[in-house]
Structures are given as C-alpha cells and as structure tokens.
A = this chain, B = another copy of it.
Amino acid sequence: MIKQYLLSPGPTMVPERVLLRMAHPMIHHRTPQFSAIFAETKQMLEALYQTDNDALMLASSGTGAMEAAVTNLCAPGDTLIFVNGGKFGERWGKIAARHGINAVEIKVAWGDAVAIDDVQAALNAHPDAKGVFVQASETSTTTEHPIREIAALTAKIDGCVTVVDAITALGVIDMPMDAWGLDVVISGSQKALMLPPGLATIALSEKAWELIAATKGCHGFYFDLAAERKNQRKGKDTTAWTPAAALIIGLNEVLKMIEEEGLQNLFTRHQTLAEATRAGVTALDMRLVSNAPAASTTGAFVPDGVDGAAFIKYLRDSMGVTFAGGQDHLTGKILRIAHLGYYDAFDVTIAMSAIEMALERFGYPVAMGAGVAAAQRVLVNRVPRAVL
C-alpha cells in the first residue's frame, strides 16, 4: 500500500468535499436549477478575480482560453507583443503564428522575469500592437513576471491591452484585476482552482471588450467571447455551448472553500508554503531555477550527477510522490514542487521528506531532516493550524 501525493503544478489535488460534490447525480444545464448554481459560481469567481467585469467559463483547457484571447483581440495581420520566458510564453507566439498574426517576441532568459524596460521598448517600437501577452506565473521556469507594471504601461496606450495567463497565479497571489488594470486574465481549473482539468476561465476589461468589438476577422465559433458574455451575463446565467457542468458545480464548492478561508489568508498561505519550500530545497543545496520565484511552484536544480528524470520517476513510482520535471533544455535537470491549491504545511513536509530520502537512495549525501527542518522553521509560527 503506497499512498499517492500529487505535488505537481497541475493537476493538483482535488479536495474530498469537491470530489464528492461532483459525484452527485448529473443535472441538466439548461434549467433554473443549474443557472442558480452558475450565477452563484460566477459571482464568487469574480470575487476571486477581484473584478466587476464578467468572469466567463469555457469548456476547454487553459490553452483554449489563450487562443480565445488571441483570436478575439487580434485579426490576421494585426500585431501583438508577447513575453517568451518559458514554454507557456512561447505558446502565445505559436498561437499567433497559426492565425497569421504578427507576434513580436520579447525573449527572456529562462528563470528571469521580463525587464519592464524591454516591454516599454517593444511598445515604443510597435505602437500598433493590440496588446502585451504575458504569464503572471511562467510555470515551466517557476517565475513571476511583473504584470502590474506591464498593465500600467498599456493603460496609457489607446487600443492596447495587457493579457495575462494567470493559470498558475489566480488564487495564489494577490493580483486584483481591476485595481491593477489587468485587461484580460485567464485561468484553468486544475491549478489553484483545485479541480480536474477541462474548465478554463477568462475575464476581460471594458477596454478589452471595446477592442474585441472593433476587431474585424475571425473570432472563431467555439471560442467566441462576445457570444459567451451575452449568454453568461447576470440574469441569463447560461453558456453559448454545453458547459463543463460537473466542473462548474465543483468550482462552486471550491469557491465556497476559498470564501471560508478568505482571500488574504489564501494568499498568505501560498506565500508561506512557497517560502518554506524554498528554504527546504536551499538547505539541501538545491539551487532555485528562478530569480523571481513564483508562489505557485518552486523549481530547483537536482544535484550534479543525479539524473532528474530518473529521480522524478523513482519518487513517483516507488514513493508515490508526483512532482514535475523540467522541459526543453531543463529536461532531467530540475524538479518542480507545487504548492498551490489544496496544499498545506504537511504537504511541504512530505515533499521535503520524499526528496531527502530519494537523494539518499540516489547516492547523494544529504543531512537527513535538513530540508524538513528548514521548511518547518518557516512554517511553525505562520501557519494557522491548531496542531502546531
């Protein structure tokens, strides 16, 4: 009997009460009964977004919502600027290329946050750009980009918006959409929203809606944001196409949990878990991947001589602890330890304990308990848990 621990940055663990809520018998999505759940869920989702705008739900993965943002805001031949500091940043460019949109790349070294001066320079060089497309948290390098500062730049430019992939940031860090002037914010169900994958969310500012209305070209059919807004608005409370109903019902339960916790507690918890994890891996002499580490996931280099891919496989198959590895040139070199969503102090303990024992098994000398101890020193006074 090996218990399973899912400590990857998506999918993340789904709370028991959410799994059970979703296991209730199915209800029809074109009924007042579902619409009532939908309306309540949407309102709570908008509270999490910290926005007065509509937060829309799409039956797709986050990539679908990314494509929706690109194709609804930009017509073929238009220009957009995107920050490429990892696998997800790179995706903006691929989506734009597929649709004949001119994508201006701001290339950033993996592990670095984008320099705000580089964004300003790109905006200066491309005054016709429809927007800056960026990740709040670039999951492949566990790095946070300065989205607030970017939004302040585009706020000064007519017809230019800031589009944020917040798939591993919404519900993790305090990123008030309206207060910061973020125009488009995207998330996905299988991250801090603590659900299985298959539901994406997207909220847009009035400035973004005006840009969409003025954009000639193909908005797509399945990903037609204006059609979704028309259907999902308060009072109508439905979706243009058949919704991922079970996930929306699960999201209702998730957002009640978040309401019970309180937004500030939610952000503090994630910050604390991130600091504890960084302290833990640092104590084990594992160097951080990022110079601007995200609160969602900690990336750390495995020690020289350890095969990262084999290390992760051993942790998963022999110890029951699933982490993520690295992608592209970081393949086999890093470990990514998630701490977002349904994750608390003892999950950090498990992560550190598993890494220590696995390092020992891989012949890498480690002071048993050093990572756990360092994490605990961060956690002990800060986590509101009766047993500590």
Interface residues of A (CB under 8 A from B): 4, 6, 8, 10-14, 19-20, 22-31, 59-64, 67, 94-95, 98-100, 188, 190, 196-199, 218-224, 241-247, 316, 322, 324
Contacts and interface: CB of A to CB of B under 8 A. Distances in A.
A196 B14 CA distance: 17
A27 B10 contact: no
A14 B26 contact: yes
Contacts of A10: 242
A242 B197 contact: yes
B31 A11 contact: no
A244 B198 contact: yes
Nearest to A99: B218
Contacts of A26: 6, 11-14, 190, 196
15 contacts: A11-B28, A11-B29, A12-B26, A14-B25, A19-B23, A20-B23, A31-B322, A61-B244, A64-B222, A98-B219, A99-B221, A196-B247, A197-B244, A197-B246, A244-B244
A247 B198 contact: yes
Contacts of A244: 61, 196-198, 244
Contacts of A223: 222
State how many copies of this chain the complex holds.
2
A330 B86 CA distance: 52
Shortest Cβ-Cβ A-B pairs, 3 listed: A198-B244, A196-B246, A23-B23
A152 to B, nearest CB: 30
Contacts of A196: 22, 26, 244-247
A10 B64 CA distance: 23
A231 to B, nearest CB: 13
Nearest to A11: B26
Contact of A60 (B6, B64, B322): B64
B98 A190 contact: no
Contacts of A13: 25-26
Given A31-B322, A199-B198, A67 B6 contact: no
A308 to B, nearest CB: 15
A245 to B, nearest CB: 5
A197 to B, nearest CB: 5
A99 B59 CA distance: 21
A59 B242 contact: no
Contacts of A8: 28
Contacts of A324: 30
Contacts of A29: 11, 197
A65 to B, nearest CB: 9
Q: Which residue of A26, A28, A218 has the most chain B CB atoms within 10 A of its CB atom?
A: A26
Given A11-B245, A13-B25, A242-B190, A61 B61 contact: no
B98 A221 contact: yes
A67 B241 CA distance: 12
A360 B120 CA distance: 72
B100 A242 contact: no
Contact of A67 (B94, B98, B221, B316): B221
